[in-house]
């Protein structure tokens, strides 16, 4: 049921402050540009039609080939629009810089995101647990995400929460997001990463603080431990059938991945990647 | 099997019927065409007049044919992708990921490198020397080599259908996915070597045309008298010369990583994969304008001709063109705002990208004012131009939207982005080359194309484009990312079904275009362009016969104004006879045809194929062959042919007679009109 509620909602149905602000920027920019684009389209069609060679009423001006006044106007109109939009771009880029912490009374929740072939690993370093293909977060709490990849590039994206960002091997990107309300939000990879790419989506579930605490407790009490051996399993190319959790995480795992102290994803074995029929988990 | 490197029977996709049969079908068609040519005895003619030709017009036509054939291949890929996504809602569809990934990679690679590029370069080849009033490009043999190397690249890409597989990483092979660890097959190698070979051809084209436009112009053809298409061609070729070496170097680094264990882009070896993205887009963004600027030039020619007016704001258009040319080199980072660069970097590149919209907007307004006060004729080239302005206004707007970094954070790599670049590549570049090819077809072949089918093609393409890519914007805003082999979001499905319908409307448009050619060829005797000026044109290309003689101009024209041919015509109409008395005809030296280009490309294919499959002895053989070809060419004794004065006189007199007759006919009609009015 939660799954259904999360379906089909995206950038234009924001569920957090970042996506909300980005939707405003997006819509404002479109409206500003439409103010010039729509008249231009109609003017083009109208001029072409009125000056059709068969129109006896059109006044022909075959020598009208230059006008300083017209040139001034047609350079100014797009220039002014771009100056205006450029200002919006400058200010909003700084306001919505992905690496900028969100103003909030509560301390942000740290989450380390690792993209693998072809699944997402979410490590909660302070809580000592990890989750595969399911991101559970408390609603109303800022999320401090560190992104990396253990193999090829991916793009971490939860459209309803906002800003996507690259996950790259050997690097860590910072991204702040927040879910304002409880709900299930679709997350995905926005960068081709091989044969299992289409299955690299997950649910981001925002729950109340109590539910979150309960989830943490239950995760701690069951499931395997994420040690080096378990991590090596993750490095193999595969699409997990179901999301699952790890009850504990080896300390410093994320740093070791980012600093390349652990080997990267194995890639296809034997030259051709074998992937089981996908899409029907 | 070391003799054949990595090549074994497993390279033939026997277990995958789809690529195998489609590949075999292509092979059968090619063999059938070859057999037909041999049986009919056309081979000597083809060899003499086309394959070894160094005539810029013939080479231009061959570029356009290559582009047309590759358009069909790329379009089949498009149908397959749309069909896969229409089917694959909670289902695997008919293409497994390994095949689907090849299809979208091949589609992008082919459409950009082997459709848009050769089409644009082909039209430049046919038209630029004629517009400049000269006899050929600066380096005619090099021109032939360029074409055949491009064709060699196209052949290698298509070879991957039957032998081995193509790249599965997208049309730009980002590492680490394209590194050996994650792409151990030959797909990335096919991609790289095909583009290295055709890239050399493109670079030589750039050098050739920059030299031609800067150094070879008719007497009196100052820079500010050059037709707009020549200006945009100059800008485009300057960009080629500056940008293509970057592509070659980037792919060379990737190849070194893959072949000899270098670590330019492997993060684990101390390399940096982000550098690939920067480098590839340092080429990739100018590439967009390499394609778009000549298309803008075509629209300038078409709108002016079919409005019976000179181009409005000619100098303003030159400034706009050169501004785009320069700024296009400073915006590459907008292709990866989401990489995590800081807000300063992102917003500076975002604003730089938006600034391009200013000169582009100016161009649109100048075309609008060119129509203003003119006599607008809605012939097919004009329809494509108006369809372009409307479509491109939207595509340009979504482009500026994507240049706003926070908006891009929510649109990057979504179908919205894909819809945007199809909107500009189809709406600006493809519509432009279609307009240009109908406009200049009579010049190249001596007869006009059927207007009725041309209009059908236009409307089907225009409607088909919007039905196919309008939904792309919608699903992009519903969070759909590109390159999904299957999906489970119900909201996307209806839009993808609409897009599937759109692609079939475009298919009808392509069928109309093929029918247009067939019908026009069959009725060519009725549609002969006798005077060489079917549209009442304004620039020098229309002052020659259609098709022009190999030497283009019996006597190089003397240019005194911005629209030399229009002035000539106007004066002729005034005085009622041709403006110039018959000149003193002299023999003309023209470069001799040579198989150098074809033979070089033959060895380039061998070398490329051998490199892809690690067949080292064959690599050596191919390189030796290519070098030997060069040596033979360099040591030639006889490189020019003399066209005797009588032949020049005969051809030019025929053209003059046709024009004089047309002039007299016009005069007669005017007089009778005046009489009837009295």
Where would I find the beta strands (DSSP E) of B65-202? none
Q: What mean pLDDT is predicted for residues B133-147?
A: 95
Q: Indicate whether B678 pLDDT > 70.
A: no
Q: Which residues of A touch B401 (CB under 8 A)?
A: 26, 29-30, 33
- What is the signed CA dihedral for B279, B281, B282, B287, rounded to 10 degrees? 140
Taking only residues 436 to 495 of chain B, the set having a beta carbon closer than 8 angstroms to any beta carbon of chain A reads 477-479, 481-492
Residue B383: the pLDDT is 97
Other beta carbons within 10 Å of B224: 10
Distance (Å, whole) CA B477 – CA A75:
32
pLDDT > 90: percent of chain B? 84
Q: What mean pLDDT is predicted for residues B607-611?
A: 96
Which is more confident, B461 or A274? B461
β-partners of residue A201 are A188
Taking only residues 311 to 350 of chain B, the set having a beta carbon closer than 8 angstroms to any beta carbon of chain A reads 311-316, 336, 338-340, 342-344, 346-347, 350
pLDDT tens figures, A146-169:
999 999 999 999 999 999 999 999
Q: Which of B268, B338, B369 sits opposite A260 (nearest CB)?
A: B268
Residue B572 — pLDDT band, cuts 50, 70, 90? confident
Residue A274: the pLDDT is 39
Q: Which of B386, B400, B485 sits opposite A85 (nearest CB)?
A: B400
Q: What mean pLDDT is predicted for residues B103-123?
A: 97
pLDDT tens figures, B329-374:
999 999 999 999 999 999 999 999 999 999 999 999 999 999 999 9
Residue B50 — pLDDT band, cuts 50, 70, 90? very high
Do β-strands A142-149 and A173-178 pair in parallel, antiparallel, or remain unpaired?
Answer: antiparallel
Q: Indicate whether B671 pLDDT > 90.
A: no
pLDDT tens figures, B269-298:
889 999 999 999 999 999 999 999 999 999
Other beta carbons within 10 Å of B163: 16
Phi and psi at A158, nearest 5°, equal: -120, 95
Domains identified in chain A and CATH numbers? 17-56+66-95 (1.10.287), 109-263 (2.60.40.420)
Q: Indicate whether B312 pLDDT > 80.
A: yes
Q: What mean pLDDT is predicted for residues B468-492?
A: 95
Residue A56 C-beta-side C-alpha neighbours within 13 Å: 0
Residue A1 — pLDDT band, cuts 50, 70, 90? very low
Q: Indicate whether B675 pLDDT > 60.
A: yes
pLDDT tens figures, A168-226:
999 999 999 999 999 999 999 999 999 999 999 999 999 999 999 999 999 999 999 99
Residue A269 — pLDDT band, cuts 50, 70, 90? low
Q: Which residues of A touch B389 (CB under 8 A)?
A: 41, 44
* Inter-residue contact B257 to B271 (CB < 8 Å): yes
Q: Indicate whether A68 pLDDT > 50.
A: yes
Q: Which residues of A touch B393 (CB under 8 A)?
A: 37, 40-41, 44
pLDDT > 90: percent of chain A? 88
Q: Indicate whether A5 pLDDT > 80.
A: no
> A228: burial class by Cβ within 10 Å (0-12, 13-18, 19+)?
exposed
Q: Which of B309, B315, B362 sits opposite A62 (nearest CB)?
A: B309
Residue A106 C-beta-side C-alpha neighbours within 13 Å: 12
Do β-strands A173-178 and A183-189 pair in parallel, antiparallel, or remain unpaired?
Answer: unpaired
User: Catalytic annotation on B222?
Assistant: no
Average pLDDT, chain A: 91
Q: What mean pLDDT is predicted for residues B319-334?
A: 95
Q: Indicate whether B676 pLDDT > 90.
A: no
Residue A4 — pLDDT band, cuts 50, 70, 90? very low
Q: How far is B223 from chain A (nearest CA, A)?
A: 18
User: Catalytic annotation on B677?
Assistant: no
Residue A278: the pLDDT is 37
B373 touches chain A (CB under 8 A): yes
Residue B554 — pLDDT band, cuts 50, 70, 90? very high
Q: Which residues of A touch B486 (CB under 8 A)?
A: 198, 278-279
H or E element: which one contains B391? helix B380-402
pLDDT tens figures, B611-649:
999 999 999 999 999 999 999 998 988 889 999 999 999
Residues 6 or more apart from B87 whose CB is under 8 A from it? B93, B94
- For the ranges B57-61, B104-108, B528-532, the lowest mean pLDDT is seen at B528-532
Question: Is the omega angle on the peptide bond into residue B163 within 30 degrees of 0, that is, cis?
Answer: no
Q: Which of B316, B338, B347, B481 is the catalytic position?
A: B316
Q: Which residues of A touch B174 (CB under 8 A)?
A: 153
pLDDT tens figures, B149-181:
999 999 999 999 888 889 999 999 999 999 999
Q: How far is B354 from chain A (nearest CA, A)?
A: 6
Residue A275: the pLDDT is 39
Average pLDDT, chain B: 94
β-partners of residue A113 are A122, A147
Whether residue A86 and residue B351 make contact (CB cut-off 8 A), yes or no, is yes
ipTM value of the model? Answer: 0.93
Residue A280: the pLDDT is 33
pLDDT > 70: percent of chain B? 99
Return the biggest CA–CA distance within chain B: 91
Q: Indicate whether A281 pLDDT > 50.
A: no
């Amino acid at each position: 049921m939660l799954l259904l509620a999360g379906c089909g909602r995206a950038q234009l149905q924001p569920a957090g402050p970042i996506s909300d602000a980005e939707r405003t920027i997006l819509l404002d920019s479109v409206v500003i540009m439409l103010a010039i684009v729509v008249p231009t389209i109609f003017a083009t069609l109208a001029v072409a039609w009125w000056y059709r060679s068969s129109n006896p009423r059109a006044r022909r001006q075959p020598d009208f080939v230059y006008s300083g006044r017209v040139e001034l106007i047609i350079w100014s109109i797009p220039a002014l629009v771009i100056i205006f939009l450029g200002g919006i771009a400058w200010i909003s880029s700084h306001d919505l810089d992905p690496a900028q912490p969100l103003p909030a009374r509560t301390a942000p929740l740290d989450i380390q995101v690792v993209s693998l072939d072809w699944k997402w690993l979410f490590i909660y370093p302070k809580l000592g647990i990890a989750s595969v293909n399911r991101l559970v977060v408390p609603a109303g709490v800022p999320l401090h995400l560190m992104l990396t990849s253990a193999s090829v590039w991916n793009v971490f994206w939860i459209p309803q929460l906002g800003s996507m960002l690259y996950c790259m091997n050997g690097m860590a990107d910072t991204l702040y997001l927040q879910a304002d309300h409880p709900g299930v939000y679709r997350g995905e990879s926005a960068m081709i990463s091989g044969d299992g790419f289409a299955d690299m989506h997950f649910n981001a579930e925002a729950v109340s603080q109590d539910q979150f605490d309960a989830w943490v407790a239950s995760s701690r009490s069951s499931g395997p431990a994420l040690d080096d051996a378990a991590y090596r399993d993750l490095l193999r190319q595969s699409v997990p059938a179901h999301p699952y959790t790890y009850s504990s995480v080896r300390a410093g795992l994320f740093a070791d991945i980012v600093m390349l102290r652990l080997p990267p994803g194995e890639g296809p074995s034997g030259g051709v990647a074998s992937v089981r029929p996908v899409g029907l988990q | 099997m070391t003799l054949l490197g990595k090549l074994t029977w497993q390279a033939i996709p026997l277990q995958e019927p789809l690529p195998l049969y489609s590949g075999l079908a292509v092979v059968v068609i090619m063999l059938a065409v070859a057999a037909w040519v041999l049986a009919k005895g056309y081979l000597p003619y083809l060899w003499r007049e086309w394959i070894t030709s160094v005539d810029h017009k013939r080479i231009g036509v061959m570029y356009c044919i290559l582009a047309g054939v590759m358009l069909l291949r790329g379009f089949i890929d498009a149908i397959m992708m749309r069909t896969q996504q229409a089917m694959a809602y909670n289902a695997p569809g008919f293409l497994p990921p390994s095949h689907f990934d090849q299809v979208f990679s091949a589609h992008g690679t082919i459409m950009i490198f082997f459709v848009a590029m050769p089409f644009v370069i082909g039209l430049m080849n046919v038209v630029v020397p004629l517009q400049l009033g000269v006899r050929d490009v600066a380096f005619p043999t090099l021109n032939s080599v360029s074409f055949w190397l491009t064709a060699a690249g196209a052949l290698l890409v298509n070879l991957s259908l039957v032998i081995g597989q193509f790249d599965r990483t997208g049309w730009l092979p980002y590492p680490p996915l394209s590194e050996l660890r994650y792409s151990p097959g030959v797909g990335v190698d096919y991609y790289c070597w095909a583009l290295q070979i055709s890239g050399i051809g493109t670079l030589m084209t750039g050098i050739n045309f920059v030299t031609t436009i800067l150094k070879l112009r008719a007497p009196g053809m100052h820079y500010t008298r050059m037709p707009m298409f020549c200006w945009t061609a100059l800008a485009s070729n300057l960009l080629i010369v500056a940008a293509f070496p970057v592509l070659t170097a980037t792919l060379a680094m990737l190849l070194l990583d893959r072949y000899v264990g270098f670590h330019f882009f492997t993060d684990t070896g101390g390399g940096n994969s982000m550098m690939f993205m920067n480098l590839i887009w340092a080429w990739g963004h100018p590439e967009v304008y390499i394609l778009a600027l000549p298309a803008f030039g075509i629209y300038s020619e078409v709108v002016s001709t079919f409005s019976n007016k000179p181009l409005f704001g000619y100098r303003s258009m030159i400034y706009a063109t050169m501004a785009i040319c320069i700024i296009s080199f400073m915006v590459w980072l907008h292709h990866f705002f989401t990489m995590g660069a800081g807000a300063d970097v992102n917003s500076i590149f975002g604003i730089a990208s938006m600034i391009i919209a200013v000169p582009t907007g100016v161009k649109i307004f100048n075309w609008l004012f060119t129509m203003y006060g003119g006599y607008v004729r809605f012939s097919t080239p004009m329809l494509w131009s108006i369809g372009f302005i409307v479509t491109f206004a939207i595509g340009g707007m979504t482009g500026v939207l994507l240049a706003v970094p926070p908006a891009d954070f929510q649109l990057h790599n979504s179908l919205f982005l894909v819809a945007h670049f199809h909107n500009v590549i189809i709406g600006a570049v493809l519509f432009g080359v279609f307009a240009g090819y109908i406009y200049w077809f009579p010049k190249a072949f001596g007869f006009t194309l059927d207007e009725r089918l041309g209009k059908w093609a236009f409307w089907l393409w225009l409607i088909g484009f919007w039905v196919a890519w309008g939904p792309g914007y919608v699903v992009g805003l519903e969070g759909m990312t590109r390159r999904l082999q299957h999906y489970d979001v119900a909201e996307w499905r209806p839009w993808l079904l609409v897009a599937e319908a759109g692609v079939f409307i475009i298919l009808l448009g392509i069928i109309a275009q093929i029918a247009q050619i067939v019908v026009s060829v069959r009725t060519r005797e009725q549609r002969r362009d006798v005077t060489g000026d079917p549209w009442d044109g304004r620039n020098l290309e229309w002052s020659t016969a259609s098709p022009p003689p190999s030497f283009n101009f019996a006597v190089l024209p003397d240019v005194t104004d911005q629209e030399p041919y229009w002035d000539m015509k106007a004066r002729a109409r005034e005085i009622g006879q041709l403006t110039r008395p018959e000149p003193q005809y002299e023999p003309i030296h023209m470069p001799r045809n040579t198989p150098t280009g074809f033979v070089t490309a033959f060895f380039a294919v061998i070398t490329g194929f051998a490199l892809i499959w690690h067949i080292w002895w064959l690599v050596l053989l191919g390189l030796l062959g290519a070098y030997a070809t060069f040596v033979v060419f360099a040591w030639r004794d006889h490189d020019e042919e003399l066209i005797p004065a009588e032949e020049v006189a005969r051809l030019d007199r025929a053209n003059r007679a046709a024009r004089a007759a047309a002039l007299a006919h016009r005069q007669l009609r005017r007089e009778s009109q005046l009489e009837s009015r009295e």
